[in-house]
């Protein structure tokens, strides 16, 4: 008897995670089917994906591209919608079993919440969702009986180490960080960096925003907050350790002192596949690790003096309330400005710090408070941007 395929909705299918998820689904079409695909503005890729995977529906967030997508898919039995509201609505479709949340940034929050409310299982790539509103999102998931399967490689590593250990208390976790392309550099060097250099990550190929976040160590800061919510940890139970080879993807230390690590070559397809297929491990032909190619795996402390973003993220997590939401919004504006050559690399941290100091603190924010905090922080960050001189 043929078992029923798992119907997946991929939010952000045209991105780095989205396209790799489709690679996984293509290779396992006996297990998975695509029910929904969404993109922001890359209509041509969305159309191409729709024709290949024949989903029930596609959504293009950019409404001006609706007619273009509709026309291109008119010969197919595929529903076409446009706009962010449509993404929030489409995830509630009965036929969806699991939603892969792979939109980048705050923009992914509302659709993830909508999917949890509709009791869809979630494969979570969009870490910003937990950074912004981790308390509300994890409480809602618990209430609805929804599991949040981590896609982020470090969190997938922790999750894999915890399989069979869910009743055993965690003493602490070590989140590994590659250190990014500027590991070991000082502030004078960082001040001269252009986006082309920052966009070259040594071990991972990712979307532009997370690549810049990795270079500035903000990505690790966001991941620390993500881990706190995913695994119910106290801030002091989370430690970052720099591991430039990106082979050990993270480590759990249990209360008996035993440590479990998950290892493998850096390839996002593995954590994506684990999240989509859980609890099943699916046979893959991904390249295998060879010890002789990595005779040395090294570990060092993160330099939070030079890479202030990591320290700012810890600070925001410790303070709690809407502070991580402020951190995230300020960082999104800062990264966008850096990618447009409006500010230098170090000024990204200046903007984040300024917003953390300026935007009003709320101890127990509601969803509406988070939305308001995001809007207000973006306003403050924009103001601060215009105060900064453009560096050549
Ligand atoms: P990309 O920038 O490559 O892709 C983002 C996706 O979201 C695209 O499909 C994009 O559409 C869509 N999108 C962007 N803005 C909006 C919006 N306002 N409304 C609706 N859709 C939008 O990002 P990544 O795939 O690299 O990252 C996705 C998420 O996964 C991030 O949260 C990131 O932190 C996380 N992640 C990524 C990893 C990676 O290896 N890439 C690793 C671990 C976590 P379009 O293409 O049309 O612009
Ligand atoms: Mg990661």
Report the domain count for the chain: 3
Residues 103 and 130 in one domain: yes
Q: Report the CATH number that the domain containing residue 341 is assigned in CATH.
A: 1.10.1740.10
| Ligand 1 lined by 16 (C-beta under 6 Å) | yes
| Ligand 1 lined by 41 (C-beta under 6 Å) | yes
Q: How far apart are CA 317 and CA 120, in angstroms?
A: 28
Residue 234 within any structural domain of the chain: yes
Query: Residue 313: pLDDT band by 50, 70, 90 thresholds?
Result: very high
Do residues 346 and 191 touch, judged by C-beta distance below 8 A? yes
Long-range pairs for 186-189 at CB < 8 Å and ≥24 separation?
Answer: 186/306, 187/306, 187/346
Residues 263 and 350 in one domain: no
- Nearest in space to 344 (alpha carbons), one of 181, 198, 177: 198
Residues 94 and 122 in one domain: yes
Query: Residue 201: pLDDT band by 50, 70, 90 thresholds?
Result: confident
Residues 162 and 298 in one domain: yes
| Ligand 1 lined by 18 (C-beta under 6 Å) | yes
Domain of residue 257: give its range. Answer: 152-267+291-305
Do residues 75 and 98 touch, judged by C-beta distance below 8 A? no
Residues 10 and 111 in one domain: yes
> What's the pLDDT score for residue 35?
98
Question: Which residue CA neighbors atom 45 of ligand 1 most closely?
Answer: 40
**Sign of the four-CA dihedral 246, 217, 108, 314:** positive
Do residues 345 and 190 touch, judged by C-beta distance below 8 A? yes
Domain boundary pick from 150, 178, 207: 150
pLDDT at position 389 over 80: no
Best substitution site from 11, 85, 103 to test ligand 1's pocket, by max atoms within 8 Å of Cβ? 103
Three-class secondary structure of residue 239 per DSSP? strand
Mean pLDDT for 369-378 is 98
Q: How far apart are CA 343 and CA 327, in angstroms?
A: 17
Quote the percentage of the chain above a pLDDT of 90.
96
Mean pLDDT for 26-30 is 98
Cis-peptide into 279, omega within 30 deg: yes
Residue 275 within any structural domain of the chain: no
| Ligand 1 lined by 43 (C-beta under 6 Å) | no
Residues 285-310: pLDDT tens digits? 999 999 999 999 999 999 999 999 99
Residues 152-173: pLDDT tens digits? 999 999 999 999 999 999 999 9
> What's the pLDDT score for residue 391?
46
Residues 315-359: pLDDT tens digits? 999 999 999 999 999 999 999 999 999 999 999 999 999 999 999
Residues 204-233: pLDDT tens digits? 889 999 999 999 999 999 999 999 999 999
Burial of residue 92, with CB atoms counted within 10 A of its CB: 0-12 exposed, 13-18 middle, 19 or more buried: middle
| Ligand 1 lined by 131 (C-beta under 6 Å) | no
pLDDT at position 367 over 80: yes
Best substitution site from 15, 20, 339 to test ligand 1's pocket, by max atoms within 8 Å of Cβ? 15
Which residues make beta-bridge pairs with 260? 252
Residue 272 within any structural domain of the chain: no
Residues 333-342: pLDDT tens digits? 999 999 999 9
pLDDT at position 199 over 50: yes
Which residues make beta-bridge pairs with 173? 238, 252
Query: Residue 57: pLDDT band by 50, 70, 90 thresholds?
Result: very high
Q: Report the CATH number that the domain containing residue 45 is assigned in CATH.
A: 3.40.50.720
Helices 269-277 and 16-27 pack at an angle, to 10 degrees, of: 60
Query: Residue 193: pLDDT band by 50, 70, 90 thresholds?
Result: very high
> What's the pLDDT score for residue 244?
98
> What's the pLDDT score for residue 2?
63
In ligand 1, the atom with minimum distance to the C-alpha of 13 is 9
Q: How far apart are CA 124 and CA 112, in angstroms?
A: 8
Domain boundary pick from 107, 128, 150: 150
Residue 314 within any structural domain of the chain: no
Residue 273 within any structural domain of the chain: no
Residues 329 and 300 in one domain: no
Residues 15 and 126 in one domain: yes
Query: Residue 392: pLDDT band by 50, 70, 90 thresholds?
Result: very low
């Amino acid at each position: 008897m043929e078992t029923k395929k798992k119907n997946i909705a991929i939010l952000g299918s045209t991105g780095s995670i989205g396209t790799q998820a489709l690679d996984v689904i293509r290779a396992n079409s006996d297990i998975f089917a695509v029910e929904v695909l969404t993109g922001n503005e890359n209509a041509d890729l969305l159309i191409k994906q729709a024709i290949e995977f024949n989903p029930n529906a596609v959504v293009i967030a950019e409404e001006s591209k609706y007619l273009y997508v509709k026309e291109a898919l008119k010969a197919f039995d595929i529903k076409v919608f446009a706009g962010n509201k449509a993404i929030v609505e489409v995830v509630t479709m009965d036929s969806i079993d699991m939603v892969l949340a792979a939109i980048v940034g705050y923009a992914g929050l509302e659709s993830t919440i909508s999917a949890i409310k509709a009791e869809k299982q979630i494969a979570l790539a969009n870490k910003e969702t937990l950074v912004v509103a981790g308390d509300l999102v994890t409480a809602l998931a618990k209430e609805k009986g929804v599991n949040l399967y981590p896609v982020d490689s470090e969190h997938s590593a922790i999750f894999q180490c915890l399989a069979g250990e869910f009743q055993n208390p965690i003493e602490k976790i070590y989140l590994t960080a590659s250190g990014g392309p500027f590991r070991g550099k000082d502030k004078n060097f960082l001040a001269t960096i252009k986006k082309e250099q920052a966009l070259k990550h040594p071990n991972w190929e990712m979307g532009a925003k997370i690549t810049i976040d990795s270079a500035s160590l903000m990505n690790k800061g966001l991941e620390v907050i993500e881990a706190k919510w995913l695994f119910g940890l106290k801030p002091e139970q989370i430690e970052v350790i720099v591991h430039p080879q990106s082979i050990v993807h993270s480590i759990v230390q249990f209360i008996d002192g035993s440590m479990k690590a998950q290892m493998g070559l850096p390839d996002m397809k593995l954590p994506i596949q684990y999240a989509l297929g859980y609890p099943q491990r699916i046979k893959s032909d991904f390249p295998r690790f060879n010890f002789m190619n990595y005779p040395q795996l090294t570990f060092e402390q993160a330099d939070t003096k030079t890479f202030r973003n990591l320290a700012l993220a810890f600070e925001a997590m410790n303070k709690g309330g809407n502070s991580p939401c402020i951190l995230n919004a300020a960082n999104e504006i800062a990264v966008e400005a850096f990618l447009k050559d409006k500010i230098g690399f170090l000024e990204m941290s200046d903007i984040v710090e300024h917003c953390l100091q300026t935007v009003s603190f709320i101890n127990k924010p509601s969803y509406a408070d988070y939305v308001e905090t995001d809007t207000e922080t973006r306003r403050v960050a924009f103001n601060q941007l215009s105060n900064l001189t453009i560096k050549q």
